[in-house]
Amino acid sequence: MRFSIIVPMFNEASGLPGLLARLSVLTRQGCEVLIVDGGSDDGSVELVECAGFRVLASPKGRARQMNLGAARATGDVLLFLHADTLLPEGALTTVRQTMLKTAALWGRFDVLIDGAHPMLRVIARLMNLRSRWTGIATGDQAIFVIRKAFEAVGGYPDQPLMEDIELSQRLRALARPACIHTPVLTSGRRWESRGVWRTILLMWRLRWAYWRGTPAEQLAQRYR
């Protein structure tokens, strides 16, 4: 079981040192890492290349970047990792054991949100519970999937928001996800910079609108 980790990137220079240090350990263990840049202008590309990673250039858009990475990847299992998210130690061993034990086609990690606001732990707990109940994963939870299953559902939809929700729905039609309780650590900057309660309300409104059929393009305008 060979792994390819695909990281979409856009202006992530401030958080890259920690991410690249973790990824370097995995590359020494034989894991393929593909970092796909969507046009960064903050020095992110230079930081990645100085760390010894090759950067793939892509049109901006997380779904497009991840699909490009998947197309270039050689692994049997694709793991999609946001640039502001860190995998726990032993993550790939855990994924391998979980997939072999459960014969899962895809899955995700629990998430822990890094930040000072006490509500961030509550948000993470609710995200994890919701994901177990619905079988839907978010990109913050480091979705992993067997390549054949990813290709069978057509990869990520080419849309500017909710691409992770849509992919989960398609994969869920094939099988329920494996849920790994050891959490990834993701940045809480989105919540803290915009206001925790304001962001919570915004995300719920966007999800509700998406379930009701509002196009992702319209929702992306609200998200900005």
Q: How far is CA 106 from CA 25, 124, 180, 185, in A?
A: 24, 21, 11, 20
CATH number of 3-193: 3.90.550.10
Neighbours of 172 (CB within 10 A): 16
Q: What is the pLDDT of residue 206?
A: 81
**Residue whose token pair is 């970092």:** 35
Query: pLDDT (tens digit, 9 = 90+) per residue, 162-220?
Result: 999 999 999 999 999 999 999 999 998 887 877 888 887 888 888 887 778 888 788 77
Please write the tens of the pLDDT for every residue from 173-189: 999 999 999 999 999 88
Asked whether the beta carbons of 201 and 147 are under 8 A apart, the reply is: no
- 96-140 pLDDT, tens digit per residue, is 999 999 999 999 999 999 998 889 999 999 999 999 999 999 999
CA dihedral 88, 64, 20, 131 (to 10 degrees): -10
Q: What angle do CA 98, 172, 84 make, to 5 degrees?
A: 65
| CB environment 40-64: b (16+ within 10 A), e (fewer) | beeebbebbeebebebbebeebbbb
